Amino acid sequence: MDQIKIGKFIALCRKEQGMTQAALAEKLGISDRAVSKWETGRSMPDSGIMLELCEILKINVNELLSGEKIMAESYNKLAEENLLEMRRQVEEKNRQMLNTEYMIGVPATVSGIAMCFIASFVEMPVWLRISLIAFALVMILAVAFIAVGIEQKAGYYECGNCRHRHVPTYWQTNLAMHIGRTRYMKCPECGKWSWQKKVLGKKEDEVR
């Protein structure tokens, strides 16, 4: 998506409605700085307020995402292109989140194991040895909880039986047996237990 083009389109539609950036921001319950960032192409409106923004500007979502008014004959094509682009952006965001999980989890785990190793084999007072091991274990557990939270929110799990893709709760994810990012869970669609692998996006037929 061309954020610069979309930003200019938002500015144009706002002016057509006779509103200032401050007036539009007030209607949406946000700061005029956020509106300014949209119109200069530095950011995009959050999906949670897109419908309200479009209603105020007298446009539809596909026109907003295209950065232009859409003629009836090309509406369906642009709608499909916008949907695919939004899905691509969501999958890329999920991929970045999963990379963050590794960036947080691996160094913390290695550091924790190293501290336990040092505490076990290096001469030091008993209180320091216990404190070091306790700190290492707490750090590993805390990072593990954070990492599972990141994994749970990024993308979907695909049922090994019916191939339904879903997002389980945090505790369903945390308590499930797992091998890497593949977890043994119950599918909410078919009700069967299976090893469910992590996938970044939802299947096309489930989106439509």
pLDDT, mean of residues 90-98: 85
- On whether residue 101 sits in a domain, the answer given is no
Can you tell me the distance from the alpha carbon of 136 to that of 140, in angstroms, rounded to the nearest whole number?
6
Domain holding 29, by residue range, is 3-70
- On whether residue 94 sits in a domain, the answer given is no
CA-to-CA dists, residue 55 to 13, 14, 141, 156, angstroms: 11, 11, 47, 31
- On whether residue 158 sits in a domain, the answer given is no
Q: How confident is the model at residue 205 (pLDDT cuts 50, 70, 90)?
A: very low
Structural domains counted in the chain: 1
Q: How confident is the model at residue 80 (pLDDT cuts 50, 70, 90)?
A: low
- pLDDT per residue as tens digits for the range 177-197: 999 889 999 999 999 999 999
pLDDT, mean of residues 192-207: 78
pLDDT of res. 200 = 86
Query: Where is pLDDT greater, at 207 or 64?
Result: 64
Can you tell me the distance from the alpha carbon of 6 to that of 104, in angstroms, rounded to the nearest whole number?
35
CATH code where residue 32 lies: 1.10.260.40
CA-to-CA dists, residue 126 to 120, 123, 138, angstroms: 10, 9, 18
Q: How confident is the model at residue 82 (pLDDT cuts 50, 70, 90)?
A: confident
Number of neighbouring beta carbons within 10 Å of residue 188: 12
pLDDT, mean of residues 42-68: 87
- On whether residue 143 sits in a domain, the answer given is no
H or E segment at 8? helix 3-16
- On whether residue 34 sits in a domain, the answer given is yes
Can you tell me the distance from the alpha carbon of 128 to that of 114, in angstroms, rounded to the nearest whole number?
15
pLDDT of res. 102 = 86
Q: Is residue 208 predicted with pLDDT exceeding 90?
A: no
